[in-house]
Structure formats: C-alpha cells, structure tokens
Amino acid sequence: MIVPMMKYSFLVYHADYATFLSEIKKMGVLHIQTKQNEQSAEIQDKYRSLTDLFKTIRSLEERKKADDDGNALLDESISGEEVLEKLRAIEKEIEHKNHQLSSLEKEIQQLYPWGDFSALLIKEIASIGVTIRFLICKEKKYNPEWEQVYCIEHISNHAGFSHFIVCQQHDEDISELLSLVDVDEITIPTITLSEAEAKQRVVQEEINSLQQQITAIATHHLMALKNLQNTWESAIADSNAYLQTEKTVDNYVMLIEGYIPEPKTEELHAYLAMHDIVYTAEKPLDEEKVPVLLKNNRFTKVFEFIGSLYELPNHKELDLTPFFAPFYMLFFGFALGDAGYGLLIVIAATVLKFKKPAMKGILTLAQFLGISTVIFGALTGTLFGINLMNVDIAWLQNAKQYMINTDKMFTLALALGTIQILFGMVLKVVNLSMAKGFAYAYSTIGWLILIIGLGANYFLTQLQAYTPQSSTYIQYGVLSISGALILLFNNPKRNILMNFLAGLWDVYGMLTGLIGDLLSYIRLFALGVSSAILGFVFNELAMSLRPDNIILGPIVMIIILVLGHGMTIFMSALGAFVHPIRLTFVEFYKNAGFVGGGKAYKPFAEKKEN
C-alpha cells in the first residue's frame, strides 16, 4: 500500500533557521519539495566529488581482504579526508610508475632484437677509432653480399626486419650503404637489455608495493571513507535544503515546504508546538508530485524490488505490488518448472543469507521463487530433467494422478493469464474510481460484465444448469448492459454520440489487445517445457557419452551433468525471471490501468555512521 502524505509549509525566522533545519534533520521525516531544479555550481562540484568517492569505495570493497593481517597502513584514528588524500597520492604515484613501466617496455621491445650488448664496450671500441653503427632494413631486403664489402655483423631477424651493425673506422666510407633506400640507422641505445629489464622489475615491485598499500587501506580504513561519504551526502542534503528555501519578508522569514507520512507527524507536531513555529498542514493536491512511500507485509515487501525495475505508482493510485507478487511467484515457478532446480535455489539462497546479510531481501525473494519452482516441478513431474511420470517407483504411483502433462500445462498457462488479466481490470476499476471517480470506470466494468458474463453463461449452459432459452436471454442481457456501459457511458463528460464513436474504437482496441495479451501467457508453457527438455537432453548425453570404464565412466557422466544442468539452470532461471516481469509490466499493468510516475520518498535526515 501507499502511505498517505501530508504537505507542510514552515515559516521560520532567519536567525533560527539553521537550528530548525538541524532539528528537522534529526527527526528524518520531511521530504523537501523541489522548487529549484537547477543545482548551484557548488552543489554540482560536491556531487562530482561524492560520485568519485562512491566509485573509490566500491573499488576498495572488491579488493578488501577477508582476513585481518594486522598491517594497517595508517593510524586507526585517521579521518576519512586524510585516508582519501593518502589514497589519491598512492594512485597518482602508481600512475607515474605505470608511465615509467610503459616506457621501459617500449625500450625493451626496441632492445630485444640487438641482444644484451655492453654499452661500455661500445664506448671503449669508439675510443680506439672504431664506430659501431646500428642499422635495420626489411628482412627481405637484407643482402648478405654487404658482409663482403663492409664489416657487418648480422644480429637478428625480428618482426619482419633485419637488425645488423657495421663497424666503421674513422677513415672508412660507408656512405653508399647508408644511402640505400631500405637501410635506416637508429640511435645507439644508451642502456642494455639487462639494465632495462632490471629497471622494469624494480618499477613493477614498486607498483606491487603501492598496490599492497591500497589493499591495506581497503582492509583497515574503508570505514573511514564510508563515514566520509555519509558526511558529504549530509552536506549536499544541507545545501539542497537551503537551495529549496524561499526567502520572504525582506529575507527575514524563511519558507520551506515538504511532505511527511501521516503516521510520522506526531513527533514533528510536538517540536513545532514547543518552539512556536508557524506552519500549515494540508492534504496534497492531485496534480502535485507527491513522494511515494510503500508499506507492505513481509511477503509482499521482497517483491518491491521487482516493481522498482519499472517505476513507482503515483500517490493517487494503488500500489500493485501486493497484487502482482503472488502471480509473479507462480509464473517464475511455472517457467522454470523443475523441482530439483527449485530446491537448489532454495538451498543456495538460504546459505547466502547467513553470509550476505546485506542481500537479505533479494535472497528471501529467491527463496520464495525457489519454493514456487519446487511446487510446479512436483506438479509437472520434473526433477533435474527426469520425467517422474515415466519412472517406476512404488511410492510415486499415488502422486502421479495429481501430475499434469503438457496439454494441461498449456491450458493452465492460458487460465492463469485469463485470471490475471481480469484481476487487473478489477484493479483498474478501483484505480479509476480513486483518481477520477466511479463514473469513469463504467467502460471497464462493462468489459468485465461482458467477459465474465458470457464465459459463465457458456459454461453453465454446457453443464445444463438451465434451458437454452434462458441462456439466450442471459446472453442478450449481458450484451445489453455491457454494450451500454462500453459504448454510451464510457466518459461522463462527453455526449452520447462522442461516447459511441470512442466506444467503437475502444471495442477494436480491447478485442485485439486482449487476444494478444492472453496469447502472451503461452510463453510460460514454452519456457517450462524447454527447461524440462534441456535437462532431459543433458541426462541423455551424460548416459550416452560416458566411457565404458568403471572409473572414467562415472567421472565423465558427473562432469556432463554438472556442466549441462548448470547451464540449464542459468539460462532457464534467467528466462523465468525476465518473462514474468514482461507479463507483469505489460499485460498486467496495462489492464490494471497503471499510470506510474511516482518518485521515492527520501527524507531530509542525518546519515548514520557505520
């Protein structure tokens, strides 16, 4: 359900305003109304800094060590600002070292074809009148005959080039060799290969040491950064509160407006009365963008995550979470449809709830979905791809009479779709009545009467509950009542002629839309069957591909089963998660008249330190 909100306006003397905001922030109940959407340059800078800090914290969480080795890099009492400053200094140093490493890698690549020569020896040779020049040319262009003319030593062929040196005495002319188009002279290297590799190792060790310092910060000082994040978020909230404040009466009186959930107004009223603060409280108007706070029971609350993937309802309509939650749970179980897979999901989610308490809500949702899968797997007789209907087990014989085959699965998928669509139309009647008035729901009521009335009349006729003549009268009555509501009274503000023309268009849209909506639910049947088939195929592969060996046979079979069913669980669970979402947000939301557009209730409140 959506918690009702009250709109408050506060008039506070400017000298007392900072204290007022501080007290309101401690209560943490006021959602400040946004009047100024354009943020100041100061707030934008704060947001950018906060975003960078958030990314930093998320990165550190990924490299945080589970075990505390006791080697804290900084003092435990250090502030978050100092930790961040130290971290940025380390990151800057790592960036500098990486540039050095990149330069050394390029030097090593250049030196590698020449081997590990001695630069000192080259200088000594030059001192006695012999110059060594380093030359390269394309490998195909190198001419061994050059070695007969000049004092050349071929060093290596690398990356399509020949690398060679020529020893030149001071009075020797090698200009003809250097003038060749394909021969290039390179600068004499000032460092040897071994020296470059040694420097590379030193720089890499320095980078590793700096990385260890970051890991130490992640392990021992992450909490300080999280507290800094809370401080910055609180500062941004304060700045935004002042930004949304309107100055009146020559800047002596400050006006701020916002929304508070009705159940949370008692403490606020006590504070306002104690300090004689002038305020007004009223119900918000329908056209206002009122924040939305959802309040659901323990079962429904875990499905709020599914609803948040689309958007929140606005404050004038129903929260559809309690109404789609049971259907979504059923649809997931139908689409996955293997009792073994469902049991694995339940076990995995239960174990992870103890290890990941922060994910309790999502894991509880996984438990519910796993339970639904176990139920539907038992109903369809599927366990890890095994068709239990074909298994000759004594204690299963009585249970087989309750299992359904693929034909009944197809019918069940359409039946569930019909129920959800009609249920959605009932909710649309409620939504329209709440938002506009009951008269605007006449057309939807007409369609409900038409569909349910004709359907009930058909089945009762088949059961011979009354005579065919009575059936005809009932059919005419249903058509007359529903036709009048759909074609003549669909909008109380239009005349009958316009209603009739609009009603005809509505008839066309509803007939084509309802058929398409209903057929969409066949995907549940298709997903459930495909999951069972995939599991069966991998079972067959495991049995047929295992070697005829008492040791290798079981090992190969287990590997195929684990990999095959692992892939099946992943693909089928993904489909079972996504497609019911599509049925919820398209078919159900549309027929329920969902409008949406609500924004989440975010109170102006203090950030708690971790």
Structure tokens at 361: 């809500």
Q: Where are the domains of the chain?
A: 1-35+244-293, 41-105+200-234, 118-188, 298-591
Structure tokens at 100: 């050095």
Q: Are the beta carbons of 56 and 224 closer than 8 angstroms?
A: no
Task: Give CA 38 to chain center in angstroms.
Answer: 28
Q: Are the beta carbons of 527 and 572 closer than 8 angstroms?
A: yes
Helix (H, G, I), strand (E, B) or coil at 130: strand
* Residue 282 bridge partners (DSSP): 7
Residues of 433-443 as b/e, b for ≥16 C-beta within 10 angstroms? eebeeeebbbb
How far apart CA 170 and CA 177 sit, in angstroms, is 16
Nearest-CA neighbor of 311 among 604, 1, 42, 596? Answer: 596
Nearest-CA neighbor of 601 among 304, 267, 298? Answer: 304
Packing angle, helices 442-462 and 468-487, rounded to 10: 170
* DSSP state at residue 584: I
How far apart CA 314 and CA 101 sit, in angstroms, is 56
Q: Are the beta carbons of 355 and 394 closer than 8 angstroms?
A: no
Structure tokens at 268: 């606020």
Whole-angstrom CA distances from 118 to 135, 164, 195, 299, 378 are: 17, 16, 10, 76, 78
CATH class for the region spanning 1-35+244-293? alpha beta
Sequence-distant (≥ 6) Cβ neighbours of residue 217 within 8 angstroms: 60, 73, 74, 83, 86, 87, 90
- Residue range 118-188, CATH number: 3.30.70
| Cα dihedral across residues 386, 388, 389, 393: positive or negative | positive
User: From the CB of residue 382, how many other CB atoms can be counted at a distance below 10 Å?
Assistant: 29
How far apart CA 598 and CA 595 sit, in angstroms, is 9
What pTM was estimated for this model as a whole? 0.76
Tell me what pLDDT residue 277 has.
Answer: 87
Nearest-CA neighbor of 451 among 499, 409, 513, 407? Answer: 513
Q: Quick one: how many helices (H) and strands (E) in the chain?
A: 21, 13
| Cα dihedral across residues 243, 248, 251, 255: positive or negative | negative
- The edge-to-edge listing of strands for the beta sheet with 161-169 is 152-158, 161-169, 130-138, 184-186
How far apart CA 228 and CA 60 sit, in angstroms, is 14
Helix (H, G, I), strand (E, B) or coil at 66: coil
CA dihedral 196, 202, 208, 214 (to 10 degrees): -120
* Fold match flag (1-35+244-293 vs 118-188): yes
Sequence-distant (≥ 6) Cβ neighbours of residue 347 within 8 angstroms: none
Strands (E), 159-214: 161-169, 184-186
How far apart CA 517 and CA 501 sit, in angstroms, is 24
Tell me what pLDDT residue 66 has.
Answer: 54
Which residues, given as ranges, of the chain have pLDDT below 50? none
